[in-house]
Chain A
Amino acid sequence: MSIRATVISEIQKVAQDDKRSLLRLTDDLVLLDSGLNSLAIAILVARLEDTLGFDPFTESRDAAYPVTVGDLVRFYEDAAEAHRVASRRVE
């Protein structure tokens, strides 16, 4: 599954577990307007760390937290790319 698909699918699962309804997840939708509150985003980050093996919020030197759904997807895609580069160097 692509990073994008993984992130979107985890967002839907978190919302479903918390019985929240979500707006349509377009790239310019503001995360906190999507139907997720900060607790739901905290849960999302924890689960994505379990699924993907990294947490860009903790690793990133980029101080800008993602605001929109598109930001969040790119945040994880960039972190995934950084991990790929890092693992290639190790090899």
Chain B
Amino acid sequence: MKTPPRLIESLRDALNNAPELPPRFLRGVSATVRVGDLVSGTSLGGRLGELAGRSVLVATRDQLAAALALIELDGVARRLVVVTPDLPAEHLPIVSAKAHVDAIVSDREGEDGVPISLRVFSTGTVVATNGTPPANRQTEWVLLTSGTTGAPKLVSHTTATLTGAIADSPSPRTDVVWGTFYDIRRYGGLQIFFRAVLGRASLVLSDANEPPGNYLARLAAHAVTHVSGTPSHWRRALMTPEARAIAPRYVRLSGEIADQGILSALRCLYPQASVGHAFASTEAGVAFEVNDGLEGFPAHMVGASGDVQIEVVDGSLRIRSPRCATGYVGDEPSTLTDDEGLVDTGDIVERRDDRYYFLGRRSGVINVGGLKVHPEEVEAAINRHPAVRMSMVRSRRNPITGSVVAADVVLTRESGEGATAEFEREIRQICHDRLAPHKIPATIRFVPALQLAAAGKLARHA
């Protein structure tokens, strides 16, 4: 695989070879940076040279500050450890020790418990510098997985594995503006960050504390053309009036199962857009993208030859691709790949006719009297009802069968709080038509909202 250019080189090429292009921007919630200014500027106080060849922890609160630091440090640092904003403070020293961190980029003062003396303050703004750029080197990128319990795993990538799914030549369109509900320090968001920087596009960053309607309003104000998020991000977005203010050409879903309900809802709201869902994870990388508007993926993709190998072993999806992570960092007991070199994604799929459908995560199974239920499969059925915006299916203890299936359902804004008895009857009918009896929710509860975890996925509790 050919080595992609350093991010800063890509920016320089764009300025030198296509000076006629309109300027493009990285837009944070409160500040905006003209991306080209980084070519002869710095957000790190001109101290890039001190960070050359080091293992650098990028731990800024502000997402724009992180974006600028990542552009500057790619090809300079030996290793970039990209800290997610919600990492509990007590994990920071553990992560640092595991990754042999010897320098920290941060935008806050104060004690963080990490015994490192080389600290560079990130301003989140760009000032001109005439310093000589440090020599080129390969940078290892270390991402943290968004586990729900315990310390995160440290997953190692190269610029090549991270950018493998991105087209070599930038789009000829000069008006591309990306938006993503993800934080760019998660795999799904980092993909969009690379697409924007390498693809000569602008990027409007979201903010964890910003209501989705406000973010959508900002996307509308900057004429966003490409938007990505998890299905849960999108379901929540569709509950805001501002979702009608944007008119994207491309809508991308990843990180959770994209069921037919959300795909159809997006198609209906954005008829001009191409709606695609990507199968990607921090470990497996971007495995494949599905652009036919249907849930699941065509069965012929399994076992087909190509640079990405997709296999189904014991019902779970396994992937080998040049975009897979290169391994874990630290004394991780689990290995990334099986004996065949495939990454087990832990996602359970089932073949029906000529298509595979995602049933859910192997770890989230509900056991109803010895029969397995994947919550996501039931949610997909419930979400088919036009009045349903989103749903979460959970296990409920039961003295007869051990567990039964319980569903919490959020209705669309238009549906209001009216005829819930009628909706419940119709949802039951849909479930009855599509699911085995033990998978049909025993109880359905209508709730005003469902909680999303920091990674933009439904907050599932055991």
A55 within 8 A of B: yes
A46 — nearest CB in chain B belongs to which residue? Answer: B442
Report A's interface with B, CB cutoff 8 A. 17-19, 38-39, 41-43, 45-47, 50, 55, 57-58
> CB distance B432 to A42 under 8 Å?
no
Identify 20 new A-B residue pairs, CB closer than 8 A, beyond the known A38-B369, A42-B369, A46-B398.
Answer: A17-B428, A18-B440, A19-B432, A38-B400, A38-B401, A39-B368, A39-B400, A39-B438, A41-B400, A42-B368, A42-B401, A42-B404, A42-B442, A45-B399, A46-B396, A46-B442, A46-B443, A50-B443, A55-B399, A58-B399
A50 — nearest CB in chain B belongs to which residue? Answer: B443
Report B's interface with A, CB cutoff 8 A. 368-369, 396-401, 404, 406, 428, 432, 437-438, 440, 442-443
Give the distance in Å from the alpha carbon of A57 to the alpha carbon of B437 in the complex: 22
Q: Tell me which residues across on chain A come within 8 A of B442, comparing CB atoms.
A: 42-43, 46-47
Given that A38-B369, A57-B399 are contacting pairs, would A43 and B404 also be in contact in the complex, using a CB cutoff of 8 Å? yes
- A65 to nearest B CB, angstroms? 9
- B432 to nearest A CB, angstroms? 7
**Interface SS of chain B:** mixed
For A47, give its contact among B428, B438, B443 (CB under 8 Å).
B443
Top 4 nearest A-B pairs (CB, nearest first) are A57-B399, A42-B400, A43-B442, A42-B401
- B393 to nearest A CB, angstroms? 14
Give the distance in Å from the alpha carbon of A17 to the alpha carbon of B398 in the complex: 19
**Interface SS of chain A:** helix
Give the distance in Å from the alpha carbon of A19 to the alpha carbon of B398 in the complex: 22
Q: Tell me which residues across on chain B come within 8 A of A57, comparing CB atoms.
A: 399-400
Q: Tell me which residues across on chain A come within 8 A of B404, comparing CB atoms.
A: 42-43, 46
Give the distance in Å from the alpha carbon of A57 to the alpha carbon of B400 in the complex: 8
> CB distance A45 to B437 under 8 Å?
no
A58 — nearest CB in chain B belongs to which residue? Answer: B399
- A7 to nearest B CB, angstroms? 15
Q: Tell me which residues across on chain A come within 8 A of B428, comparing CB atoms.
A: 17
Give the distance in Å from the alpha carbon of A46 to the alpha carbon of B432 in the complex: 18
Give the distance in Å from the alpha carbon of A47 to the alpha carbon of B400 in the complex: 13
B400 — nearest CB in chain A belongs to which residue? Answer: A42
Give the distance in Å from the alpha carbon of A38 to the alpha carbon of B406 in the complex: 17
B431 — nearest CB in chain A belongs to which residue? Answer: A17
> CB distance A42 to B443 under 8 Å?
no
Q: Tell me which residues across on chain B come within 8 A of A18, comparing CB atoms.
A: 432, 437, 440
Q: Tell me which residues across on chain B come within 8 A of A47, comparing CB atoms.
A: 442-443
Give the distance in Å from the alpha carbon of A17 to the alpha carbon of B404 in the complex: 15
